[in-house]
Amino acid sequence: MVVGGGAHSFRERLRAATARAHERLDDRISSFDLGEPDAYRAFLIMHSAVLPPLEAGIARACADAPELDLAARSRTSALTADLETMGARPAAPLPVAEPASLAEALGALYVLEGSRLGAQILIRRVRASGDARVRAATAFLEHGSPDLWRSFLDAASSYVVDEDALCAASDGALSAFGAFHLACSQYFPLPVKDERARV
C-alpha cells in the first residue's frame, strides 16, 4: 500500500516509532554537563563506538542511492578530529546490525541526521565551556550545512513510500537508537547520584 504524505509522513512515522528511544537517550546525555572535559570526552568516545560502523553499514546499503550524498553527511572524520583535540582515542567499534534493505538503512540514517537537531542545543553548552579544549573540539557537533536535514527527508521519503518500507525504516531507526543506548551504557554511565537514585 502506498502511503501519502511524502517527507511529512516519513518523518512523523519515524518520530513516533522512536519517541521513547530518543527520550531515553536525551535524558541520559542531558544529565551530563558537556562543558566539562570528562563528560565531553566520554560523549565523543561514546559516539566513536557507533558512528563509524553505522555510517559504514548505511553506505553499503545505500550504494544505489548516490543522491543521498553520504560523503557530505559523514561525521567520522570530524569526530576523530575532536577526539584528538580532547586527547582521547576512539573506542573499539561496537557490533551494529547491518541494514538489511535500503529502507532500513534510511531509518538508521534518520537517526544520524536527526541527531544534528539535538546537536544545535548541545553545542551551546560546549561553546560556553570554561575549558579551551572543549571549546575547540566542535567539528562533530557543528558539522554540515543546515539544509542536510531537509534534503535527507526529501530523499528518504522518495524511497520509503509504502507501509512495508515504513515498517522497515522504523526497524532500522530503532536498531540505530539501540546501538546508541548500548554505547551509552558502556562509555557514558549515569552520574553516581542517579545510579543511587535507582537502587
| Residues of this chain that bind ligand HEM (CB under 6 A) | 11, 15, 22, 25-26, 29-30, 110-111, 114-115, 117-118, 121-122, 180
Q: What are 55's three cell numbers?
A: 555510517
Q: List the one residue out of 2, 29, 45, 22 whose CA is nearest residue 194.
A: 29
> What is the nearest approach in angstroms of ligand HEM to the Cβ of residue 1?
22
Give 37 or 177: the residue with its C-beta nearer to ligand HEM: 177
Give 25 or 106: the residue with its C-beta nearer to ligand HEM: 25
> What is the nearest approach in angstroms of ligand HEM to the Cβ of residue 22?
5
> What is the nearest approach in angstroms of ligand HEM to the Cβ of residue 98?
18
> What is the nearest approach in angstroms of ligand HEM to the Cβ of residue 18?
6
Whole-number Å distance between alpha carbons of 65 and 128: 39
CB 173 within 8 A of CB 108: yes
Whole-number Å distance between alpha carbons of 145 and 72: 9
Whole-number Å distance between alpha carbons of 186 and 143: 25
